[in-house]
């Protein structure tokens, strides 16, 4: 069973992959010196021809078959098909796809930045729509041409992404300053007697801290020494216990064999003769 959204998902992945290549190329070529608006970036991207492999990911009209006629909704009105993309067979098929699927990835890579500039834009009539969200008209500024006004616009400009190696080298060349000492106090606001008492108290605390560290080190060394001696004794006891268990096992084995020979004298004698014969043959082969 095939679902209708599976082909659309695969097409979106291919469009994003190829659209990123095209938009990166356009930004590096045209937006390095002169910033571009989203509409200009879209126009330049559409002019770039997609690779031949991208056409294989788009279902052709023959593969899609004849489209079904739209029926009527619950209200009794006939359904109207939605708007289609301006360039459905191009990776950057619409400005909306460029804004929401391609530009966020490039912004995350720090390959492009949003800059604001003042440009002259043709004034719109009263009956037309207002300016777009990327353009804001500045108050009190008019150009010599009455058909144009100065407008603040947001544009895309190429930038060099920061290098991780360069950042690491910079951090290594300029290490952070060492932390201040704990006993670096300011006693200038104290009297001489209190100043002396505070200094003595800090020196005494430092001395006690050194003695405590030395005591902990001695305790650690003593504990390690005792543990090492105990480990030696434990290994020796284990070795002796293992040898004793081996001797006892051999004795039990010999006792079981003696009981078996006593219970089966004929078989034991034949087995003994066979072993002697094998031993003699082995000695002859060795000689």
Mean pLDDT by 10 residues, the chain (287 residues): 47 84 89 87 90 75 52 70 81 90 89 84 56 49 63 85 67 64 66 85 90 93 93 94 95 93 90 92 88
Residue 65 has a pLDDT of: 46
Q: Is 156 helix (H, G, I), strand (E, B) or coil?
A: strand
Other beta carbons within 10 angstroms of residue 27's beta carbon come to: 22
Domain positions in the chain: 4-58+88-161, 192-279
User: Looking at the DSSP assignment, which residues form a beta bridge with residue 155?
Assistant: 115
Following DSSP, what letter does each residue of 67-115 receive, concatenated? PPPP-B-TTSPBP-PPPPPSSTTSSS--HHHIIIIIHHHHHHTTSEEEE
Q: Kindly report the pTM of this predicted structure.
A: 0.47
Residue 116 has a pLDDT of: 86
Give just the sign of the alpha carbon dihedral 240, 243, 248, 249: positive
Residue 10 has a pLDDT of: 61
Task: Round to whole Å and give the CA distance between 218 and 228.
Answer: 15
Residue 132 has a pLDDT of: 46
Residue 1 has a pLDDT of: 36
Residue 127 has a pLDDT of: 47
């Amino acid at each position: 069973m095939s679902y209708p959204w599976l082909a659309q998902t695969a097409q979106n992945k291919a469009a994003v992959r190829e659209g990123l290549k095209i938009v990166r190329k356009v930004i590096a070529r045209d937006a390095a010196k002169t910033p571009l608006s989203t509409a200009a970036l879209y126009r330049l991207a559409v002019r770039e021809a997609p690779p031949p492999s991208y056409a294989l990911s788009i279902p052709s009209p023959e593969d899609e078959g004849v489209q079904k006629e739209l029926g009527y909704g619950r209200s009794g009105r006939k359904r109207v098909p939605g708007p289609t993309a301006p360039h459905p067979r191009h990776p950057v098929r619409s400005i909306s796809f460029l804004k929401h699927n391609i530009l966020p990835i490039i912004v995350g890579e720090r390959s492009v930045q949003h800059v604001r500039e003042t440009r002259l834009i043709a004034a719109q009539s009263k009956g037309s729509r207002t300016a777009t969200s990327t353009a804001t008209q500045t108050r009190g500024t008019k150009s010599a041409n009455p058909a144009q006004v100065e407008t603040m616009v947001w544009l895309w400009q190429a930038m060099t992404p920061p290098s991780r190696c360069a950042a690491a080298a910079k951090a290594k060349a300029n290490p952070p300053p060492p932390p201040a000492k704990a006993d670096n106090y300011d006693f200038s606001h104290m009297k001489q007697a209190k100043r002396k008492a505070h200094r003595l108290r800090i020196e005494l605390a430092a001395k006690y801290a050194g003695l405590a560290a030395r005591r902990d080190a001695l305790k650690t060394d003593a504990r390690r020494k005792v543990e090492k001696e105990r480990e030696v004794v434990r290994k020796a006891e284990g070795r002796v216990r293992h040898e004793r268990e081996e001797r006892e096992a051999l004795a039990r084995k010999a006792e079981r064999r003696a009981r078996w020979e006593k219970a089966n004298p004929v078989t034991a004698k034949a087995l003994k003769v066979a072993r002697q014969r094998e031993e003699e043959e082995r000695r002859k082969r060795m000689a």
